[in-house]
Amino acid sequence: MYRFAVYGKGGIGKSTTCTALSCAFAEMGYRVMQIGCDPKADSTLYLHEGKRIPSILETLKKKRSTAELDDLIVTGYRGIVCAESGGPTPGLGCAGRGIAAAFEALEEREAFEILKPDIVIYDVLGDVVCGGFAMPIREGYADQVYIVTSGENMAIYAAANIAVAVENFRERGYASLGGVILNRRNVPDERKKVEVLCEDIHTQIAADLPRDNHIAEAESQLRPVMEMYPDCEYAVQVRKLAEYMIENGVNR
């Protein structure tokens, strides 16, 4: 089982990248599980035709300890197992604790032993702002972290902070940094800026994903771009990224 956590600045395209990666891994014949770690609960949206699925926390709130594993997951496009941690209304409660509670709920129900996914992708909200948001990279969860960034300065700063957090936690047996995914916004010197970032955080660019309008067109039809436009340049590069992640991955 390969387990990847995908981090990056808010709005940088993590969910789009994760969804495309899930599709690419599924195309390769792997059994894939994608877990959205965001109170908005929209990571897997286009894997089930744009329909919202009940988040793990919503289900736990209703059913408490009687909630079964099947209540917490939905199977979507190409058999991809989708789960959304969910979380409180913005400004209330504790989103980090929510992610931790969702993870504990999956663990208590032995989700990975029962579902036996080959690939698990954690799509994590924004920055590693508290303990809850570090859950996906703790021992027993993801083995490798990929950071999505563009060449925009704020995205690069966020990526650098995430890399520092990953490095700081290394001694605890946490995940290691797998690489940086350049998701282009077509800013000047974009690749060069991200290469400098990679030198600073001692990693490499794992993929160079083009800005591609096919993504928005597919989303307007509530479908993943990999399904609607499987031959577009973005899809081609995502498949290469999926292969890269397997070749450089940790299979446990």
62 classed as catalytic = no
Distances, alpha carbon 117 to alpha carbons 34, 114, 126, 251, in Å: 10, 9, 25, 12
Q: Which is nearer to another protein, 50 or 131 (CB)?
A: 131
Q: Which is nearer to another protein, 79 or 93 (CB)?
A: 93
CB-CB neighbours of 54 under 10 Å: 19
Q: Which is nearer to another protein, 107 or 189 (CB)?
A: 107
Q: Which is nearer to another protein, 10 or 140 (CB)?
A: 140
Cβ neighbours for 130, distance < 8 A, ≥ 6 positions apart: 96
Given 42, 71, 118, 127, the catalytic residue: 127
40 classed as catalytic = yes
Q: Which is nearer to another protein, 94 or 164 (CB)?
A: 94
- Shortest distance in whole angstroms from residue 203 CB to another protein: 22
Angle at 185 between CA 181 and CA 189, to 5 degrees: 85
Distances, alpha carbon 175 to alpha carbons 62, 140, 148, in Å: 33, 9, 16
192 classed as catalytic = no
User: Does residue 176 interact with another protein by CB under 8 A?
Assistant: no
3-state class of 202 per DSSP? coil
- Shortest distance in whole angstroms from residue 96 CB to another protein: 6
Site for another protein in 178-237 (CB under 8 A): none
- Shortest distance in whole angstroms from residue 103 CB to another protein: 9
Task: List b or e across 112-140, with b for residues whose CB sees 16 or more CB atoms inside 10 angstroms.
Answer: beebebbbbbbbbbbbbeeebbbbbbbee
3-state class of 136 per DSSP? helix
127 classed as catalytic = yes
Helical packing angle, 153-168 and 190-200, nearest 10°: 20
Question: How are the residues of the chain apportioned to helix, strand and coil, as percentages rounded to the nearest 5?
Answer: 45, 15, 35
Q: Which two tokens stand for residue 174?
A: 């946490």
- What 8-state DSSP symbol labels residue 210? P
Site for another protein in 86-145 (CB under 8 A): 94, 96-97, 99-100, 130-132, 134-135, 138-140
- Shortest distance in whole angstroms from residue 115 CB to another protein: 17
- Shortest distance in whole angstroms from residue 245 CB to another protein: 24
Q: Which is nearer to another protein, 39 or 224 (CB)?
A: 39
Q: Which two tokens stand for residue 104?
A: 């504990």
Query: Binding another protein by CB under 8 A: which of 89, 171, 202, 247?
Result: 171
- Shortest distance in whole angstroms from residue 172 CB to another protein: 3
* Catalytically annotated residues: 9, 14, 40, 127
Give residues in contact with another protein (CB under 8 A).
Answer: 64-65, 94, 96-97, 99-100, 130-132, 134-135, 138-140, 169, 171-174
